Structure 1
Amino acid sequence: MHAPPTDLPALPPQQSGAPYRNPEPSTGPTDQPSGPAWWMWALVSGLFLLYATLSLRIHEQLGSHSFDLAIFEQAVRSYAEGHLPVSEVKGAGFPVLGDHFSPILALLAPLYWLAPSARTLLMAQAGLIAVSVLPLTLWARRTLGSPAAAMIGLCYGLSWGIANAAAFDFHEWVFAVPLLACSLSALGSGRLRAAACWAVPLVLVKEDLGLTVAVIGLVIAWRAGRGGRRAGIALAVAGAACTALAMLVVLPALNPNGSYFYASFLGGGSGAGGGGGFGALLYKLTIGLVTPDTKVTTLMMVFAPTLFLALRSPLVLVAVPSLVWRGVSDYWPHWTTGYHYSLTLMPIVFAALIDALGRRGTSPAGLRRALVGIAGVCLLLLPVYAVGRMAKAEFWRDDPRAVVAQHLMARIPDGATVQASDALVPHLANRTSVSLFGWPESRPEPQWIMVDTRVAPDKRWPLSLRDESISLAQARSRGYKSVAQRDGFVLLNRPDRRS
């Protein structure tokens, strides 16, 4: 760990000689009040309620997963109980800090003391996303005026990358969202010391974000000119060093297999230029970044919410590390617009948008046209992605099977060892030692087994229907007895196991 630089000058935007200047805009007033306006708090509150409702409703309808919600809950539960994080879902006693370096999760332990539930993580995620609107809208108001700031804040809060992340479990990356928003807003405003200080904690969010810190440091060095260049470069070196230390030392030391598992995603095994070595790496960093076509589609979608105006700002360079590692990965979900992988890109591209619009030469008419286009893209994409689910009647309709599942899970005693289906695991993680049924690394011979046999084929994981039936039959042959069987849910207990 390196202390944040303290000798960065807050260079005035108009100072001559700075390689990267963020001049006062000609598109909006600059005498705005410094504190948040009432409408900003209303926007933050509305987005919090929106995403809390979205994620909690999905969870109640058995739409959350063992990977990743239950893993993170088990990690936070470990911190709340006073020991280093482990996850039974990943494997019996698996050390979570050997999987990803995310010690920042310990900040959720006090909340978990008050409400030990997966809902606590989902509510915290909604709050962290919502509060990230504040620094962006404050900066936009100073440079573009209140109406433009309100429109940008709303479109940012409803952007598809954020919506998809809120609808898909909980992830540690959510801590990076307000940190990035604060750091880049400070950087765009010329407050370079603040930009560096907000960037430093990113290395505690996840191991790869040290590279993002490194790019922020380079942009600070570029922006500061000769006076603060050394401090910006020091931040860049510190960020890169933290990533190297985490990936090459800390994670292999804590991982039971003695390696950084996710390095295998960058191995070149599935690329057309496979075979390993420099040739495979060169292929991945060139042709591999734009093939298959899904990668190009995702890249276009990242910048589409800003009408590609974000590309006019140097701040967009902060997105490069995330875009590159996703492009070279062999893991196909990294390429897509689904899941949570675009969450940290949204504050970057919208910060770059504010910077681009705040540059001299953007006329009031041009600003209005840009805002209308951005709002149009937001409205066009809104029903396509996660928020669109809330417009469907079935989203609000109570699922009788979910009620049955909760009733049967209540029969499992606190502290018991359990194996359960993917969607049931998050509902048991707060009070049992639960792992995934059919997962080879799960703790063997649990006291209880609960399986949902009516999972749709496209959502069934990790076992097919046939394999699941075989596994249940094998469990019964080992002495597990049926406690209940209702609406497709099967609850088994082994009488000779202490419960």
Structure 2
Amino acid sequence: MAGGQQGEGTAPGRAGRLGPWLVAAVAGALYAVLSCLRHERYLSGMDLAIFGQVARRVASGEAPYSEMKGADYLIFGDHLHPVVLLLGVPWRLWGDPRSLLVAQAVCVAIAVAIVGRLAVERLGTRLGLLLTVLLALSVGVQAAVVFDVHEVALGAPLVALAGADFVRRRWNRTAIWVALFPLVKEDMAVLVLGFALALLVAGRRRLAAALAVWAGVALVLALRVIIPALNPRGIYPYSGTTSVAPQHVWDSLVADGRGSITVLVLVASAGLLSLRSPLVLAAAAPLGLRMASSNDSYWGLDYHYSLLPAVVLACAAVDGLARTRSQALLRATVGLSVAVAVWAVWTGPLVDEVERQLTPCARCADARAALDQVPVGAEVAADDHLAPHLLADRTVLHVHPNYTDEETRRPEWMLLDRRTDTGRNAHGRAWSEELVEHSIEQDGYELVWERAGYVVLRR
């Protein structure tokens, strides 16, 4: 294993220079294709619809409003994530929600390539390329790229740059990258704090102190000033929806157990020698916040929440392996990482998505027929899985279980799947049948088309 190591300061050969980019390109292409195919099966949801509306407006030179969130809802009144303005670029190139899925896959691939170049530089071509593959197949990456579109994926290259420069001991450059994290999302201030702790352990006290202060300032500005000022109700909309308390740490790590599994899988994916690097502290900060949250969706490996910790831990793995001279330890930690990667691929969303594509879609043609009933340019309310397919050339509102209580707008068209159990506060409950009846009986809608459970109503 050590035979392929160049050692620090030795330039890698052509395979070492191009290999990480080739691995990243293949992984990115795979994830882009699977994400688009998943979208074609009506499995994408509300988040893609929200960001799609933002991208469409930004590409047209308009303010980033999202009707999915509400009337005149500026997206920065929900989260402070200026990075989403970049989504206007892929939309200009291809005015379709799938352009955002491709852009997300490209950003994740770039992050993989950045970490891969670091791994080759520090560990040699063979081991470096192996770690590049392991990151590309890690459960954190898999879960993120097959779940709609999220701003954290756009920030993945930035986090990779910060982690790579930390390992290279380019402290000032590390601090610059880290200082930009709050542009990705307001809660990235916690990751800034994590990097500050890592820099403190590395002996860079002034940089650590400066970043810690900036993390606090950025978080207060976002939660107390900027978001409430832009929110239609003048609040931070997630205050009170989740609480952070020590009791939740017990619940997530012990009583429920998903938190423990998440931490163990992420650390094992990177290899136990990643614990030798101060960068583990950077990853520990957002992970700790997740485990202390009352929102149990943060505890597990699903969704996009583990993407950035996986990128940071991959950099920590490179650092930890480079610090180790014992070949036995190197083989053991890399073997563990390979085993976890095999498990992640075999049991993770990647195989599930591939298997799903091999199965005929029984209702896709019916869903397309339902969409065709709504004229281009119309205003339509639609549920989670149908909304992303309408937003390119219609104005789309979000139908959810509490729609009639919380939303005063009644558009001309409504499009629903009677079988859906997703939606805001749905909790797996079949709610759409009740909404269809309510819309017909009390809101003046008429059933104008129905097939295979898809319903089109017109007012």
- Tell me if TM exceeds 0.5: yes
Deviates more, 1:86-95 or 1:244-253: 86-95
Residue 458 of structure 2: aligned partner: 493
SS in 2 for 1:149: helix
Deviates more, 1:294-303 or 1:158-167: 294-303
SS in 1 for 2:391: coil
Residue 100 (structure 2) pairs with residue 116 (structure 1)? no
Residue 408 of structure 1: aligned partner: 370
User: How many positions carry a matched residue from both structures?
Assistant: 451
Residue 211 (structure 2) pairs with residue 235 (structure 1)? yes
Inter-partner Cα distance in structure 2 for 1:51 and 1:81: 28
Residue 371 (structure 2) pairs with residue 373 (structure 1)? no
SS in 1 for 2:44: coil
Residue 26 of structure 2: aligned partner: 46
- Greater relative contact order: 1 or 2 (C-alpha under 8 angstroms, separation 6 or more)? 1
Inter-partner Cα distance in structure 1 for 2:363 and 2:302: 27
Aligned partner (choices 202, 224, 229) of residue 181 of structure 2: 202
Inter-partner Cα distance in structure 2 for 1:205 and 1:85: 15
Decide whether the 8 Å contact of 1:27 with 1:363 is kept in 2: no
Deviates more, 1:395-404 or 1:285-294: 285-294
- Pairing of 1:338-487 with structure 2 (within 5 A): 338-359=302-323, 361-392=324-355, 394-438=356-400, 439-440=402-403, 441-442=406-407, 444-455=409-420, 462=426, 467-477=431-441, 478-487=443-452
Q: 2:212 is aligned with what amino acid?
A: A
Deviates more, 1:282-291 or 1:191-200: 282-291
Residue 333 of structure 1 deviates from its aligned partner by 0.4
Decide whether the 8 Å contact of 1:453 with 1:465 is kept in 2: no
Inter-partner Cα distance in structure 2 for 1:131 and 1:208: 22
SS in 1 for 2:260: helix
Residue 377 of structure 1 deviates from its aligned partner by 1.6
Residue 462 of structure 1 deviates from its aligned partner by 3.5
Decide whether the 8 Å contact of 1:435 with 1:443 is kept in 2: no
Decide whether the 8 Å contact of 1:326 with 1:334 is kept in 2: yes
Return closer, same or farther for 1:105/1:465 CA change in 2, 3 Å cut-off.
Answer: closer
Decide whether the 8 Å contact of 1:27 with 1:362 is kept in 2: no
Q: 1:38 is aligned with what amino acid?
A: L
Q: Structure 1: which 5+ runs fail to align?
A: 1-24, 269-280, 495-499
Return closer, same or farther for 1:329/1:62 CA change in 2, 3 Å cut-off.
Answer: same
Residue 158 of structure 1: aligned partner: 137
Inter-partner Cα distance in structure 2 for 1:37 and 1:254: 45
Aligned partner (choices 162, 165, 170) of residue 149 of structure 2: 170
- More helix as a share of residues: 2
Q: Residues 91-116 of structure 1, C-alpha deviation per residue, up to 9 Å, x if partnerless?
A: 22222111110011111212212212
Q: 1:176 is aligned with what amino acid?
A: G
SS in 2 for 1:451: strand
Inter-partner Cα distance in structure 2 for 1:485 and 1:27: 62
TM-score, with structure 1 as normaliser: 0.84
Inter-partner Cα distance in structure 2 for 1:347 and 1:27: 23
Percent identity for Structure 1 against Structure 2: 31
Decide whether the 8 Å contact of 1:79 with 1:85 is kept in 2: yes
Residue 266 of structure 1 deviates from its aligned partner by 4.1
Residue 465 of structure 1 deviates from its aligned partner by 7.3
Residue 76 of structure 1: aligned partner: 55
Residue 121 (structure 2) pairs with residue 142 (structure 1)? yes
Aligned partner (choices 263, 271, 276) of residue 307 of structure 1: 271
Q: Residues 3-25 of structure 1, C-alpha deviation per residue, up to 9 Å, x if partnerless?
A: xxxxxxxxxxxxxxxxxxxxxx9
Q: Which has the larger radius of gyration?
A: 1
SS in 1 for 2:301: coil
Deviates more, 1:285-294 or 1:57-66: 285-294
Decide whether the 8 Å contact of 1:213 with 1:240 is kept in 2: no
Inter-partner Cα distance in structure 2 for 1:464 and 1:290: 25
SS in 2 for 1:112: helix
Q: 2:184 is aligned with what amino acid?
A: V
Residue 21 of structure 1: aligned partner: none
Q: 1:485 is aligned with what amino acid?
A: E
TM-score, with structure 2 as normaliser: 0.91
Residue 234 of structure 2: aligned partner: 258
Residue 5 (structure 2) pairs with residue 28 (structure 1)? yes
Q: 2:357 is aligned with what amino acid?
A: F
Residue 68 (structure 2) pairs with residue 92 (structure 1)? no
SS in 2 for 1:429: coil
Residue 221 of structure 2: aligned partner: 245
